[in-house]
Amino acid sequence: MKIGDQVSFKLEGQDFTGFIDKAYQNSFMITFKSDDTEILDKYHDRVVINKKKLKLIKAAPETDPESDNDEV
């Protein structure tokens, strides 16, 4: 998994989906949306989740660094 991937996870017994914002050694920072005001107040749309507890939904598109240099 990498930054930009869409993932699913459980938080306080509820299922959520979000996007990976930042990678750490054993976890990722995930940005997500919730309608639950308690979850919103506690996490402010971001949470750090262990890599083992995430499930990949959709991989982010691959970017080709070489294609940026062709526009000379």
Residues of the chain with pLDDT under 50: none
pLDDT of 23 reads 94
pLDDT at 62: 77
Q: How far is it, in rounded angstroms, from Cα 13 to Cα 61?
A: 30
Ordered DSSP codes for 42-68:
HHTTEEEEEGGG-EEEEPPPP--TTGG
Closest CA to 16 of 51, 52, 53, 41: 53
Question: pLDDT by residue (tens digit) across 12-25?
Answer: 889 999 999 999 99
Residue 31 pLDDT = 95
